[in-house]
Structure 1
Amino acid sequence: MNVLVINAGSSSLKYQLLDVDTGEVFAKGNCERIGIDGSFIGHQERGGEKERLVVDLPDHKTAVKHVFEIIDGLGLPVDGIGHRVVQGGWYFPESAVVDDEVLAKVREVAPLAPLHNYAEADVVEICRELYPSLGNVIVPDTAFHYNMPERAWRYALPRDVVDSLHIRKYGAHGTSHRFIWRAVQEFTDGACHKLVSCHLGSGASLCAVEDGHSVETTMGLTPLDGLIMGTRCGTLDPATVFYLQREGGYTVDEVDTMMNKQSGLLALSGISSDSRDIEEAAAKGDEKAEVALDMFAYRSAQLILEMAEAMEGFDTIAFSAGIGENSDDARARICAKLGWMGVRIDDAKNAVRSDEVREISAADSAIRVLVVPTNEELMIALDVQEKLA
């Protein structure tokens, strides 16, 4: 079954056409700067050279049309479309075939992720309009965390407020954490039962996965909570918001921008939100860069133990996403901070780069440590296959 996976953002649209049964990726790309001057499509076929197609992309509808023109040119059938949806809200404990009611619910919960859900709903609607014969499936990032225990998702706020405004921990990166669990199970032949899944990238979250079920995660009502990230501050005293407004004179929108786009590794290092730049600077003796890396590892180790508590122990850690997969330095720093509890990695194994799942723990490690390249697109495509079968 060939599935077109679409991931729409406020001004971008990623796509990938793949065969669910073989995992072969026929084509993938990204429509950039939608509605902004200088728009283009970066396109790649069957792992070949990347092309930069300069095209006018005034809106998402135009971008979708271009994507289908590109896909049609491959001469391959498209059997279904899968859409990544950031926020499923209080409606979706699993992926869902799109109908009018489902689409309305995606829009209803959009205030929880306004930069993403509105664009995602628009693109789903466009696909239904332009290609009515194709089935569409939404795959919410929050679905994997929907059935966490109440002790994990409920906030200690007045119940009438929480219930009327649907305030709870929703989490994010659920599709990635679900794939990571699946890959770990295959790699360990089912030996893993309590996994701390570490999706560490520009956006970062941890998930406690016990026998395939999410029982705790670090992101909360929004993706701002939890770990220090590229430009997000992560968890801090909520009264900081009030203080910034009262004493600093910042508006709500300014605080929102500060905490989501001007904080995190960018603010700590004063250099970049990209850990590669920060690692390079730290290696040259930059003290702020070193502090940024140390704080990222310290906070990660702290929250790994929070995930472990949710499962009353853990047998495996899996590192994934941009930093988790590619930074041997970040993995080494985090595991070193867990050394007191017997976590050990093999430095030679940790230094290896690979697109395959691999083990980096030392022979005497109390916890198994893996690196798992994530594949959210495949996970989405598998859901499309299941729902449209």
Structure 2
Amino acid sequence: MNVLVVNAGSSSLKYQLLNTQSGEVFAKGNCERIGIDGSFIGHEEKGAGKSTLEVALPDHRTAIKHVFEILETVDAPVEGIGHRVVQGGWYFPESAVVTDETLAQVREVAPLAPLHNYAEADVIEICRDMFPELGNVIVPDTAFHYNMPERAWRYALPRDVVEKHHVRKYGAHGTSHRFIWRTVNEFMEGKAHKLVSCHLGSGASLCAIEDGHCMDTTMGLTPLDGLVMGTRCGTLDPATVFYLSRVGGYSIDEIDTMMNKQSGLLAVSGVSSDSRDVCEGADKGDENCEMALEMFSYRVGQLFAEMAASMGGVDTMAFTAGIGENSVELRQRVADKLAWLGVEIDPELNAVRSDDPRVISTPNSKITCLVVPTNEELMIALDVEALLG
């Protein structure tokens, strides 16, 4: 089945057209600066290289219309559309076919992810209007975490507050973590039972997966919780917000922006939110960059232990996403933090570059360590195929 996977943000729209059986990617691209001057579409087609189209994109309707016009030249008809939805809220324990009801639910839970859900809901509506003959499927990032144990998702807040405002741990990166489990289980021939999936990128989270079921994850009500990330601070004392407001004089919106867009590696290093730049700075002796890397790997090691505790042990770990798949140095730093658990990775295996899943731990390591390239688009497309046939 040929599936178009769409991922909309507040001012962007990424797309990929692929086949679920072969995994072949026919075309992919991104619409950038939607609603902003200087908008463009970057498009890449199999066998035709990359191209950039400078075009006015006043809204998402215009953007998706251009995408379909571009895809008309691709020799692979679209047979279904899958939509990555960041927040499924309290409605989506699994992916769902788009109906009037499910689309309304995506909008209802949008306050939990306002920059993404509203845009994706608009795109879903546009796709239904423009191409009523095509089925659409909602694939929420939170669905994989929906049925984690209550002890993990519940916050110790008054029950009436929790129930009225649906306050709980929702997590994120669930589609990626689900793909990692699927791939690891196949690669390890069913020998992995307690996996900590390490999705380490500009946004980062860990997930404890026991025999395919999420037991806990590091992101919480929003993707701000957990690890130190590119521009996000990760877990800190919640009273920090009150202190910055009362004593620092910052507004709630200013604190929100600070913690989501001005913190993390960017704030600690003072150089960049990109780990590659931070690693380069540390190599040149920049103490702030070194501290940023130390804090990042320390938090991964610390929360790795929390994830292991949620399963009563761990036998496998998998590095994935931008940092997890590509940073030899940060994988080694994380492994060093977990040496007390018996983690030992082989420097030569760790240095290998590959697009395939691979083991990087030594035979003596008590935990099997892998690098597994994630493929959220394929996972979304497979859900589309399963629901639409």
- Relative to the length of structure 2, the TM-score reads 0.99
Distance in 2 between the 1:25 and 1:275 partners?
28
What is the match of residue 276 of structure 1? 276
What is the match of residue 113 of structure 1? 113
Gaps in structure 1 of 5+ consecutive residues = none
Deviation for aligned residue 1:341? 1.7
Distance in 2 between the 1:51 and 1:355 partners?
24
What is the match of residue 297 of structure 1? 297
1:387 aligns with 2:371: no
- Per-residue CA shift, 1:93-130, capped at 9, x if unaligned? 00000000000000000000000000000000000000
- Per-residue CA shift, 1:326-375, capped at 9, x if unaligned? 00101000000111121000000001111110110011100000000000
What is the match of residue 65 of structure 1? 65
Gaps in structure 2 of 5+ consecutive residues = none
- Per-residue CA shift, 1:253-304, capped at 9, x if unaligned? 0000000000000000000000000000100100000000011000000000
Letter in 2 for 1:347: P
Task: Name the CA shift for 1:47/1:154 in 2 (closer, same or farther; >3 Å).
Answer: farther
What is the match of residue 129 of structure 1? 129
Distance in 2 between the 1:205 and 1:188 partners?
22
What is the match of residue 288 of structure 2? 288
What is the match of residue 178 of structure 1? 178
**Structure 1 segment 1-389 matched on structure 2, within 5 A:** 1-46=1-46, 48-389=48-389
Deviation for aligned residue 1:157? 0.3
Letter in 2 for 1:228: V
Distance in 1 between the 2:339 and 2:198 partners?
17
Quote the sequence identity (%).
Answer: 75
Distance in 2 between the 1:335 and 1:353 partners?
18
Task: Name the CA shift for 1:47/1:324 in 2 (closer, same or farther; >3 Å).
Answer: farther
Letter in 1 for 2:89: G
Letter in 2 for 1:184: V
Distance in 1 between the 2:262 and 2:198 partners?
23
Choose 69-78 or 144-153, whichever is displaced more.
69-78
Deviation for aligned residue 1:47? 6.0
Letter in 2 for 1:381: A
Distance in 2 between the 1:47 and 1:166 partners?
48
Distance in 1 between the 2:95 and 2:48 partners?
32
Letter in 2 for 1:20: T
SS at match of 2:290: helix
Distance in 2 between the 1:315 and 1:60 partners?
44
Structure 1 runs of 4+ with >3 Å offset: none
Distance in 2 between the 1:206 and 1:184 partners?
15
Distance in 1 between the 2:156 and 2:210 partners?
25
- Per-residue CA shift, 1:212-252, capped at 9, x if unaligned? 01110000000000000000000000000000000000000
- Per-residue CA shift, 1:22-46, capped at 9, x if unaligned? 0000000000000000000111011
SS at match of 2:162: helix
